[in-house]
Amino acid sequence: HDLCGGVVMIRPSNRAMGIEYAIRDVVLPARELEKQGIKIIKLNIGDPVKFDFQPPEHMKKAYCEAIMEGHNYYGDSEGDKELREAIVEREKKKNGVDITPEDVQVTAAVTEALQFIFGALIDGGEEILIPGPSYPPYVGLVKFYGGVPKAYKTIEEEGWQPDVDDMRRKVTDKTKAIAVINPNNPTGALYEKKTLQEIIDLAGEYDLPIISDEIYDFMTYEGKHVSPSSLTKDVPVIVMNGLSKIYFATGWRLGYMCFIDPENKLAEVREAIGKLARIRLCPNTPAQKAAIAGLRGPMDYLEEYMAKLKERRDYIYKRLNEMPGISTQKPQGAFYIFPKIEEGPWKSDKEFVLDVLHNAHVLFVHGSGFGEGGEMHFRSIFLAPVPVLEEAMDNLEKFMKERLG
């Protein structure tokens, strides 16, 4: 026990206290400035619904109706049967996979799918290959369950494509799975089919499953998303997706995973995931009705939203590349850009982000918060309308000119 002011403090677990989440960590100093009455332009959190995006009307209506019609009970642990059928239809149509509703597990968004997967794969010491840089919960959750996140390189000059040679070098006898995040957060990369095929070949060689995070799959600009599930012959692929990004329903907390496993190598892992699903009872029941409406309904809203996002991407990409001391790749998917701090007085990317926050009043996330490969970079979202991005870029440009003399 620790003593604090004469009071015996109850100690929390090291496992929980070890969790870091950079995206939210930079919010505290920003709040302090806001308390002093300073306006901060927040380009740190990837939530489209905080900007001018909303779930489509037919989904909102279905959610409300589900509640009013009495769908307020505990559902099945694996998820609503009709929703799982709708997910099968979607995955077949997009990725040409051969699955049934039994191959689908509905979850409280991709985040819960990650908890289930790492909970079912890790006892202690197992290694999960993750992209570097990576969306922070991949590091945080793997560690929480006692595993070791091992980052494989992604190549900035090639639009942040995974370095499959490096991935191969990182495989050991403790490697348990390869995680692929495509389109990628934080880099905005869209992985090439050829690279994905190489990853599948590597996974096949070492009998590893692929964990495929496809939460941004329809959110691409020039190219189209390719899922490893559409390429695999025998390598098991666990696809994760949900309502948060392309259905613009982040707060509904609904998603799914499906198992594309032609040789049934994941049979026991699936049993473990089923157990984890049962002890958390079930996913949100009315949100699942809204998901059925979303998956089976029109997606024309996406065209308008993607046009807005493309305009914003083009704008921020141009402004950042024109600025002294900063260079950036053009994002091909999602709504993040991951520029490099080429020169300046800062010793670390966190120091840069805090300096920008205090003096240009724009909030970004420091690249090292996304783990290996993120050093001396920062992440910005481009969900905000162009006039907001313009103000942020004007402030940043003035700041960079001052700092670089």
Binding residues for ligand PLP (CB under 6 A): 46, 109-111, 135, 181, 185, 213, 215, 242, 244, 250, 255
How near is the Cβ of 4 to ligand PLP at its closest, in Å? 35
How near is the Cβ of 233 to ligand PLP at its closest, in Å? 26
**Which of residues 256 and 352 has its CB atom nearest to ligand PLP in the complex?**
256
Which of 209, 157, 156, 221 has the alpha carbon at shortest distance from 179? 209
Q: Burial-class residue 375 by CB neighbours within 10 Å (0-12, 13-18, 19+).
A: middle
Query: Measured between alpha carbons, how far is 96 from 355 in angstroms, rounded to an integer?
Result: 48
**Which of residues 113 and 392 has its CB atom nearest to ligand PLP in the complex?**
113
Query: Measured between alpha carbons, how far is 219 from 302 in angstroms, rounded to an integer?
Result: 8
Residue nearest to ligand PLP (CB): 109
> What pairing do the DSSP bridges indicate for beta strands 336-337 and 2-4?
unpaired
**Which of residues 249 and 323 has its CB atom nearest to ligand PLP in the complex?**
249
The DSSP symbol for 133 reads S
How near is the Cβ of 113 to ligand PLP at its closest, in Å? 8
3-class secondary-structure state, position 190: coil
How near is the Cβ of 157 to ligand PLP at its closest, in Å? 22
How near is the Cβ of 247 to ligand PLP at its closest, in Å? 10
3-class secondary-structure state, position 313: helix
**Which of residues 56 and 325 has its CB atom nearest to ligand PLP in the complex?**
56
Query: Measured between alpha carbons, how far is 53 from 404 in angstroms, rounded to an integer?
Result: 37
How near is the Cβ of 5 to ligand PLP at its closest, in Å? 38
Query: Measured between alpha carbons, how far is 33 from 29 in angstroms, rounded to an integer?
Result: 7
Maximum alpha-carbon separation in the chain: 65
Which of 248, 170, 238 has the alpha carbon at shortest distance from 209? 238
Enumerate the β-bridge partners of residue 8. 3
How near is the Cβ of 207 to ligand PLP at its closest, in Å? 25
**Which of residues 255 and 371 has its CB atom nearest to ligand PLP in the complex?**
255
**Which of residues 202 and 249 has its CB atom nearest to ligand PLP in the complex?**
249
**Which of residues 149 and 242 has its CB atom nearest to ligand PLP in the complex?**
242
Residues whose CB is less than 8 angstroms from the CB of residue 55 and which lie 6 or more positions away in sequence, other chains included: 49, 243, 247, 248, 249, 252, 290, 294
Enumerate the β-bridge partners of residue 363. 42
- Tell me the angle at which helices 386-403 and 300-322 cross, rounded to the nearest 10 degrees: 20
Residues whose CB is less than 8 angstroms from the CB of residue 276 and which lie 6 or more positions away in sequence, other chains included: 115, 116, 119, 120
How near is the Cβ of 241 to ligand PLP at its closest, in Å? 8
Q: What share of the chain is helix, strand, coil (3-state, %, to 5)?
A: 45, 15, 40
How near is the Cβ of 72 to ligand PLP at its closest, in Å? 22
**Which of residues 185 and 329 has its CB atom nearest to ligand PLP in the complex?**
185
Residues whose CB is less than 8 angstroms from the CB of residue 3 and which lie 6 or more positions away in sequence, other chains included: 9
**Which of residues 49 and 404 has its CB atom nearest to ligand PLP in the complex?**
49
